[in-house]
């Protein structure tokens, strides 16, 4: 059974999320916080929790600062960052603060379940829209990434979870060409996965962008 904590200042969202996942037999909601200060206290009361779903925009102390404080306190509870909207700077900031995943509030039941189980298992999960926003932020900085226009197009389509054949069809190029660009991107950015793109953004200062 996964023991889940939630921090969000919108009561209706909390109630909706709990109702949405009510039939998931492997999930139980153990505690609720309505601001960052309460989130820190809640984590201390439930140090054995499997996951903390935390909104990044809350009163008194926002989610980013709460994550930083929990990291300082050496909390081992994995954090799934939660927000109404995504932008590249916020995604990177959440990662730098200690989040292992990022999900949009408007995501469906299947994505929430996947994100919860994935992050609770010690892995990373990012909503496609969050990843796309991060990549857009990254590729907007020519001096850092030195990507061509075509590489930017392919990178964004990869983030949108299109297959090699789908990308080839959309851009009117061959699958072989897509794979060549994919290999070049991996080499240029020195990553192996979408999670690697987030780490790249943090390491190159994108976490400090608004």
Backbone φ and ψ of 124, nearest 5°: -115, 145
pLDDT tier at 66, thresholds 50, 70, 90: very high
Domains of the chain: 2-126 (3.40.50.2300), 131-208 (1.10.10.10)
Considering the entire predicted model, what is its pTM? 0.72
**Residue 143 pLDDT exceeds 90:** no
**Residue 165 pLDDT exceeds 80:** yes
Q: Can you give the pLDDT at residue 137?
A: 67
- Average pLDDT over all residues of the chain: 84
Q: Can you give the pLDDT at residue 193?
A: 67
Q: Can you give the pLDDT at residue 138?
A: 64
Map tokens 């070049």 to a residue. 184
pLDDT in tens, 101-116: 889 888 889 999 999 9
HSE on the CB side for 34, CA within 13 Å?
5
pLDDT tier at 94, thresholds 50, 70, 90: confident
**Residue 88 pLDDT exceeds 80:** no
Q: How far apart are CA 153 and CA 139, in angstroms?
A: 10
Helical H runs in 73-193? 88-97, 109-120, 128-139, 142-145, 149-159, 164-171, 175-189
Average confidence (pLDDT) over 31-40: 96
**Residue 49 pLDDT exceeds 60:** yes
Longest dimension (CA), the chain: 56
Q: Can you give the pLDDT at residue 200?
A: 65
Q: Can you give the pLDDT at residue 76?
A: 93
């Amino acid at each position: 059974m996964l023991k889940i904590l939630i921090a969000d200042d919108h009561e209706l969202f909390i109630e909706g999320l709990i109702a949405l996942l009510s039939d998931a037999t492997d999930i139980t909601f153990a505690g609720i916080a309505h601001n960052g200060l309460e989130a820190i206290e809640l984590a201390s009361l439930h140090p054995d929790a499997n996951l903390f779903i935390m909104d990044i925009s809350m009163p008194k102390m926002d989610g980013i600062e709460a994550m930083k404080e929990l990291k300082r306190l050496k909390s081992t509870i994995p954090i799934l960052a939660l927000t109404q909207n995504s932008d590249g700077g916020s995604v990177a900031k959440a990662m730098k603060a200690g989040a292992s995943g990022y999900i949009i509030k408007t995501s469906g039941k299947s994505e929430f379940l996947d994100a919860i189980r994935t992050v609770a298992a010690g892995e990373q999960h990012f909503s496609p829209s969050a990843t796309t926003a991060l990549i857009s932020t990254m590729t907007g900085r020519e001096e850092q990434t030195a990507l061509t226009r075509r590489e930017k197009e392919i990178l964004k389509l990869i983030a949108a979870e299109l297959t090699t054949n789908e990308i080839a069809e959309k851009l009117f190029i061959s699958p072989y060409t897509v794979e060549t660009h994919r290999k070049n991107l991996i080499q240029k950015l020195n990553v192996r996965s979408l999670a690697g793109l987030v780490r790249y953004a943090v390491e190159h200062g994108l976490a400090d962008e608004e």
